[in-house]
Amino acid sequence: MKITIDEGKCVGAGQCVLVAPDVFDQRDEDGVAVLLTEETPEDERPRVQEAARVCPAAAIATDGR
């Protein structure tokens, strides 16, 4: 599945990492979210969508709904 993180919006809250630790990581210096792998497997979709919903900066977008 395709995931985009808006780096300008991300506040480095790390909530996405708490929800989907196999998908998201944070940059060392500012905590901005990064994807652990280029391709995220489909079976992570529910967690990724949960992460997108809890992100306090609305910084995560996914393909489809």
Partner 1 sequence: MPRSGHRDGRPVSRHIVVVGTGAAGLGVAQELRHLGYDEALTLVGAENHPPYDRPPLSKRFLTGAADAEQLWLAGPDTLDRLGATVHRGRRATGADLAARTVSLDDGRRLPYTDLVIATGVTPRTLPGIAEHAGAVTLKTLEDAHSLTGRLRPGRRLVVVGGGFLGTETAWTALSMGCEVTLVTPTPTVLPGLGEQVGSLTGERLAAAGATVLTGTAVEAVRQGDGPPGSGDLRVLLDNGTRLPADTVLTAIGSAPDVGWCGTTGLDLADGIRCDAVGRAAPGVHACGDVAAWYCPPHGRHLRLEHRMHAGDQARVVAADLLGGHRELDWVPFFWTDQGPHKIVVHGLITPEAEFETHEADTEHDRFTGVYRTNGRVCAVLGWNAPKQILRLRRELLTGPQTALGTPPPAGAPKPG
Please report, as ranges, the residues that interact with partner 1 according to CB under 8 A: 8-9, 11-15, 17-19, 26, 28, 30-31, 46-47, 49-50, 53-54, 56-58
Measured from the CB of residue 14, what is the shortest distance to ligand SF4 in angstroms?
A: 5
Measured from the CB of residue 17, what is the shortest distance to ligand SF4 in angstroms?
A: 7
CA distance 57 to 44: 21
From the list partner 1, ligand SF4, none, pick the one residue 60 interacts with, judged by a Cβ distance below 5 to 8 Å according to partner type. ligand SF4
Within 13 Å of residue 41, how many CA atoms lie on the same side as its CB?
Answer: 4
Can you read off the two tokens belonging to residue 20? 């989907």
Can you read off the two tokens belonging to residue 57? 């900066």
